Structure 1
Amino acid sequence: MKLRLLAGLSAFVAAAGLSACSSGSGEGVSGDGGRTTIDVWLMRDSVSTAFQKQFERAFGAAHQDIDVRVQIQEWDGIGEKVTAALASNDAPDVIETGNTQVAQFAQSGGLWDLSDKVDELGGRHWLKGLAEPGTYDGKQYGIPYYAANRVVIYRKDLFAKAGVDARAIRTRAQWIAATKKLDKGDRQGIYLPGQNWYTLSGFIWDEGGELAEKTGGEWRGTLDTPEALRAMAFYEKLQALGKGPKDSDEAQPPQHEVMAKGQVAQIINTPGGANVIAQNNPALKGKLGFFPIPGKTADTPGAVFTGGSDLVIPTVARHHDAAYLFVKELTGDAWQKKLAVAMSYVPNKTTLAGAVAKDPGASAMAVGAAVGHATPNTPGWAAVEAKNPVKDYMTAVLTGGNPAHEAEKASDAITSAMKSGS
């Protein structure tokens, strides 16, 4: 689903909360003088009011025959709301959706196929973690909008005290060595909860594994592969260099609060988490830094789960051409650069990473996003996240369970959940 990992990112932008530019029924209509009105659903806190209005003014000036009505939607319950809209005759013309939600909406035939627009939109440079989940059955339905992902947030003062240079941490081996130096006395080398499964996913991808794979037309869980088992072994090694709980995730307790209160040298989170930490402990303002999650070798950063949004156009939308113009401009290079700077997001193309070069958190995200992934591209994955056997598996291993046995059980549970959810 849409980046639950973006809790920190939401805090990053919440101060500039969105509001709809007008109310409206969601029905695209033709106005006076032959003008076309398109209705657009954007998500709460995705962009600031200032950016939204700036784009609307520029789009209106460039396309004077098109009026745009934006309606702000809440993430809670959005899946059911979009599904209902796609099945009706009253769908908006453009919808922002979480990148991993696209497959479930496309499965019903409710989305307009944009495959013939990919080249025109510069699709060969799109971030893999946004582009791939925007496809279904080989067709492109979701157009990458923006991305965000986890990085390492670290305490500059604790690193200096331990004699650790964050700039020198480029590999997993260097990361482990540095974290061991940091893990002394009351100081935790890293606070890593036992059920941070998005981080584990990155380690699995680094090893060449997957959470699930499609074989012979059917999806099955693959936590029991050698690659995934190696990833879990590394997670266990890293998690032991701190006092993180083995039976909960980063929200229980909120890891930002833990880092703000104690001698925690590192956490893995979106850069927006640094703002939350500083809000909880103003003494840490200016003492927090960022670096990309290290990879197995220095030449390749660690893989990350790419969260963010795609833009889709419903099949039943009344103004496909006008909707496409809106999508084309908002996801085009000029506005992607502006969006990245305004919101500290990662632009939708690898070629635009330089737009955030002066933003330490966003530039660290952009490094990881270049090798980012998304969860398995199947509508059935939503059922996996609802039960989340991955979390149970991680806790079982960290509390002494046999890794191979627990991975086999979890893989079977993933397979069963995907079948029930498809």
Structure 2
Amino acid sequence: MRLRRLALVCVSVSLVGACGLVPQGGGTERRTVTVWLMKDSASKDFLERFTEEFERTHGDLDLDIRIQEWTGIGEKVQAALETDATGATDGPDVIEVGNTQVPQYVEGGGLLDLTLESLRDWGMRDWLPGLAEPGRQRSTQYGIPWYAANRVVIYRKDLFQQAGIEAPPRTHEEWLTATEKLNSSGNQGIYLAGQDWYTLSGFIWDEGGDLAQEDGGTWRGTLDTPAALRGMDFYRRLQALGKGPVDADEEHPPQTGVFAEGRVAQIVAVPGLARAIVQQNPGLDGELGFFPVPGKSADRPGAVFTGGSDLVIPNNTDARDGAVAVVEALAGAKWNTELARTMNYVPNKTTLAQAVAGEEGVAAMAAGAAQGRATPSTPEWANVEADNPIKEYMTKALTGADPATEARRASRRITEALAVPFG
């Protein structure tokens, strides 16, 4: 969920419409739909234009859009979902939540089932899987995909040219070959920290594996499957072509700073970080390019972890029809593509990718997002991340320990964490 903080426009805004039921001309009562959106998810201008058109085309509805901070939002949303509708006249009717947060809100029964609306005319078949899957529990859709962001490869065009690499690699093997060439010029072919488990997840998914799987209602860690071990082996081969620390993640030290020093050819990161790199090293302005994380074959990019937001409706809303109308508009093609263009996001559907085709970094994200995934769809996954055994496993596998043995140990720890009720 850090990914959405990389939006290129960061504005906090509160657009307040009429509150309560306000009699209008002819005796028609106007209703207010209260919408909670997260800070930096949309610009002030976007929200103003959306509100103006929505209220104009929905003559009986007013919007009350309230911007929320990410800090402490989980507890605030849970409290709103647990409030009885009869005493919640000022509560939210629509809430933006992180895509991987949806399962924890479903757990308490506080979200409205939106399956019928999704099936009817919202185009759910084209939704990005990394947004849609976390919003779905046992074939019931609670979270409606809104926008996404994911990792790509940020690379130095000049260093690729110097190494004789004419086009970005499209397969794992091409990527290894290109990175070896880049190393030969005295630079780091790639900077990849040893505990970048989000990137590892994509390689595991490419091989048909997963971090954990559910069987008969019980979740268990699956890092020790042959597929997951193949993903770790590719990570090991790629990581060895640079000087990333094996005992730290991509934030320690921040990989943007390492890249900005000028001796690194590639990093795996969201494209928004390119601005931070150029700010630290203006000499790289115009030299940075982007391509999707390569896959096993050239016909499609590699799988990537997808961050982003879903829209949910509380069960206790007293404005159900109005809330559904807001979600339909925000997630619909017109406003979703407008949001993507404004904020440099990936639209919520694969069929809308052309809306960001003119922006190299976002286009690379959109290509990868079509193969995107999210963490296992259970609220207990938060227990895993709290004391993440995947990171320790990666370090041990990269420093000579037997990967299969360490994967079994890490999988047992994941299974144990998933057995503890969240919260």
Name the TM-score class by shorter chain.
over 0.9
**What's the TM-score, normalizing by structure 1?**
0.95
For residues 39 and 352 of structure 2, what CA distance do their matches in structure 1 show?
Answer: 25
1:10/1:272 contact within 8 Å kept: no
Q: Unaligned regions of 5+ residues in structure 1, if any? A: none
2:112/2:314 contact within 8 Å kept: yes
Deviations 1:261-295 (A, max 9, x none): 13110000111011111111111111100000000
Deviations 1:133-153 (A, max 9, x none): 101232100000011110000
* TM-superposed deviation, 1:30: 1.9
* TM-superposed deviation, 1:328: 0.1
Matches within 5 A, 1:307-326: 307-326=307-326
Deviations 1:88-118 (A, max 9, x none): 1333000000111111101111000001111
For residues 262 and 6 of structure 2, what CA distance do their matches in structure 1 show?
Answer: 21
Deviates more, 1:59-68 or 1:354-363: 59-68
1:382/1:421 contact within 8 Å kept: no
Give 3-state SS (helix, strand or coil) of 1:247's partner. coil
Matches within 5 A, 1:309-348: 309-348=309-348
Give 3-state SS (helix, strand or coil) of 2:231's partner. helix
Q: Equivalent residue for 2:75? A: 80
Count of aligned residue pairs for this structure pair:
412
Q: Answer yes or no: is 1:137 the counterpart of 2:138.
A: yes
Q: For 1:32, which of 6, 23, 41 is the aligned residue?
A: 23
Q: Equivalent residue for 2:412? A: 412
1:23/1:71 contact within 8 Å kept: no
Matches within 5 A, 1:88-99: 88-89=83-84, 90=88, 91-99=91-99
Q: Equivalent residue for 1:55? A: 50
Q: Equivalent residue for 2:357? A: 357
Deviations 1:288-321 (A, max 9, x none): 0000000001112100111100000000011010
Deviates more, 1:58-67 or 1:108-117: 58-67
Matches within 5 A, 1:177-192: 177-184=177-184, 186-192=186-192
* Amino acid corresponding to residue 22 of structure 1 in structure 2: V
For residues 29 and 414 of structure 1, what CA distance do their matches in structure 2 show?
Answer: 47
* Amino acid corresponding to residue 319 of structure 1 in structure 2: A
2:127/2:349 contact within 8 Å kept: yes
For residues 40 and 150 of structure 2, what CA distance do their matches in structure 1 show?
Answer: 16
Q: Equivalent residue for 1:42? A: 37
Give 3-state SS (helix, strand or coil) of 2:33's partner. strand
Q: Equivalent residue for 2:109? A: 109
Please give the root-mean-square deviation of Cα atoms over the aligned residues, in Å.
Answer: 1.4
Matches within 5 A, 1:13-412: 13=8, 15-22=9-16, 29-33=20-24, 34-89=29-84, 90=88, 91-119=91-119, 120-167=121-168, 169-184=169-184, 186-412=186-412
* TM-superposed deviation, 1:418: 0.8
1:260/1:281 contact within 8 Å kept: yes
1:180/1:241 contact within 8 Å kept: yes
Q: Unaligned regions of 5+ residues in structure 2, if any? A: none
For residues 55 and 258 of structure 1, what CA distance do their matches in structure 2 show?
Answer: 40
For residues 411 and 66 of structure 1, what CA distance do their matches in structure 2 show?
Answer: 50
For residues 166 and 347 of structure 2, what CA distance do their matches in structure 1 show?
Answer: 28
1:211/1:223 contact within 8 Å kept: yes
For residues 332 and 65 of structure 1, what CA distance do their matches in structure 2 show?
Answer: 20
For residues 313 and 84 of structure 1, what CA distance do their matches in structure 2 show?
Answer: 14
| Distance 1:12-1:283 versus aligned 2 partners, 3 A rule | farther
2:98/2:309 contact within 8 Å kept: yes
**What's the TM-score, normalizing by structure 2?**
0.95
* TM-superposed deviation, 1:23: 9.4
Deviations 1:350-388 (A, max 9, x none): 111111110101110111111111111111111111111
| Distance 1:74-1:80 versus aligned 2 partners, 3 A rule | same
1:29/1:38 contact within 8 Å kept: no
For residues 166 and 48 of structure 1, what CA distance do their matches in structure 2 show?
Answer: 35
* TM-superposed deviation, 1:32: 3.3
* TM-superposed deviation, 1:339: 1.3
2:11/2:43 contact within 8 Å kept: yes
Give 3-state SS (helix, strand or coil) of 1:335's partner. helix
For residues 116 and 315 of structure 2, what CA distance do their matches in structure 1 show?
Answer: 15
Give 3-state SS (helix, strand or coil) of 1:220's partner. strand
For residues 100 and 22 of structure 2, what CA distance do their matches in structure 1 show?
Answer: 35
For residues 237 and 141 of structure 1, what CA distance do their matches in structure 2 show?
Answer: 40
